[in-house]
A and B are shown apart, each in its own frame.
Chain A
């Protein structure tokens, strides 16, 4: 009896990280006339609760079990299921921790710029959590739309001409992406008669030769959609303008958005198009590595050529997704494990840089974040040290987690046939990133132009610097606990490469 109760609680735990932000968002919408202090406290508490839920869920799946929650108790593949495995829990923890820091920063004042900031923020977390947990292709589309709709609002938060222009491009390209997603999902349903991911995996492996071209087309169309969300070459062009022009907390939260694309690619390519999938085996994997390496190179060249700090960071986000998918593209346990260790690290590093860039821009008057000599900044030594540490983190120099992430990726690449390409581009790219950020740092902090007197701005408050420092501390913590964390990601990779466990957990033992 006790065991039965435990099993029920465990499976109901899966829906909790989806429900909490949804209910929090609705509550914030209803309570929008309350004092801002109450709303901030409520939003921060809910974000903290989300971290706790994610950690509890991680503990529940850490032994390799796959938890399934059937909505309305309709069994799969007829009903919709939410599925939690190691990968989903890992991404939930990353998202919730990142969201808390971004929210803490927003609560210092930038949430005043729009009336519904906190509502949109919670709904964004709702969409992200749902996308990581769902076990249904059409539901994935719906959660994509939820997180995109919230992100449209957050992107435009605060207003401004540049933001509107970048926002229009972002919205239109994502709507086209959604249409393609529906075409892909429709084709899958038309041929295979199911939308449940586990069921799709079984049916796609047994597809008849005459239907094979259609299934391959749908699979590659799906890959194109995910590549658009992940900002892979040549579909990355929307990202730099959108991320560089939005508000800092939104940009920090968006650091996880491209990872949703990466997550979907990883999930679909291992579950449906894995090595054992018969006629559709390795459909996506063949494309992934070259495209990812190209993305890495293009992102770093873009960063080197940027004239503004925020644009540079946005290109570094493109480069980091390139690195991440390079690791995933290796297709081995060590490669995917290394990529999954790199994922939270690169997310936290990019978020820290986005928050820091706004603080730096706020100190430089009309120059803002343009990379040109400017006035001496208030608390310049704190900003300088934080910039130095963030740069070390994102470039991947020892002793912080970026180094360990890159080291794991490079070690995994050694036995791969394309090892020369991977090593060459990742190491050469690292050098280029180092030079780029060294140049930015010296332009911002060492070269001083005459300041126009009279426009004294208060130095950044310690409270505003704290979230940046907190994100950097996470990087240090990931270094300190690199052993257990990389063990967990390696176990995650093993679980992903043996999709039978996932399929059996969803569809039952039969």
Chain B
């Protein structure tokens, strides 16, 4: 399971980095989204992967999963969501004002 999760995080990060380096705003926004997915999974995995354990105190529980990364991920998701919404609006504004969706606002050669 660890190997699979590592592979997923790696693939998401690679896709994110590739897309961010594109010249159009839409792929860049998608790339940012991919990167934030990758980092959210990464944070989640930092509490170690545990299956079927409660995060809160429970007298009958034999072991626990770490609740802190879950709280961190929740915060990161909320912030990432707001940022994505903002950057989409900004990309649309740039498209409207600059007349194209190139990240430098240039015209086609």
Contacts and interface: CB of A to CB of B under 8 A. Distances in A.
Interface of A: 138, 142, 145, 149, 152, 156, 161, 164-165, 167-169, 171-172, 175-176, 178-179, 182-183, 185-187, 189-190
Given A149-B86, A164-B90, A168-B25, A186 B42 contact: yes
Contacts of B94: 164-165, 168
Contacts of A187: 46
Nearest to B86: A152
Nearest to A188: B46
Given A142-B75, A145-B79, A161 B97 contact: yes
Interface string B64-99: 000011001001100100110011001101100110
A176 B42 contact: no
Contacts of B87: 171-172, 175
Interface in B22-63: 25, 28, 32, 35-36, 38-39, 42-43, 45-48
13 contacts: A142-B79, A145-B83, A164-B97, A164-B98, A165-B105, A168-B25, A168-B90, A171-B87, A171-B90, A172-B87, A175-B83, A176-B35, A186-B69
Nearest to A152: B86
Contacts of A167: 90
A183 B16 CA distance: 14
Instruction: Report whether over half of chain A's contact residues are helix, strand or loop; otherwise say mixed.
Output: helix
A182 B76 CA distance: 8
B36 to A, nearest CB: 6
Nearest to B75: A142
Contact of B46 (A164, A176, A189): A189
Contacts of B90: 152, 156, 164, 167-168, 171
Interface residues of B, number: 33
Contacts of B45: 190
B103 interface: yes
B69 to A, nearest CB: 7
Contacts of B47: 189-190
Contact of B98 (A165, A183, A189): A165
A166 to B, nearest CB: 10
B13 to A, nearest CB: 9
Closest 10 CB pairs of A and B: A190-B46, A186-B43, A182-B39, A165-B105, A186-B46, A179-B35, A145-B79, A164-B94, A161-B97, A179-B39
Contacts of B36: 179
Given A142-B75, A164-B98, A169-B103, A182 B43 contact: yes
Contacts of A190: 45-48
B49 to A, nearest CB: 11
A113 B75 CA distance: 32
A171 B86 contact: yes
A168 B91 CA distance: 7
Contacts of A149: 82-83, 86
A168 B89 CA distance: 10
Nearest to A153: B86
Contacts of B39: 179, 182-183, 186
Contacts of A176: 20, 32, 35
A162 B79 CA distance: 27
B39 to A, nearest CB: 4
Given A161-B105, A164-B98, A172 B68 contact: no
Query: A149, A167, A186: which has the most chain B beta carbons within 10 Å?
Result: A186
A186 B75 CA distance: 13
Nearest to A138: B72
Contacts of B76: 182
Nearest to B28: A172
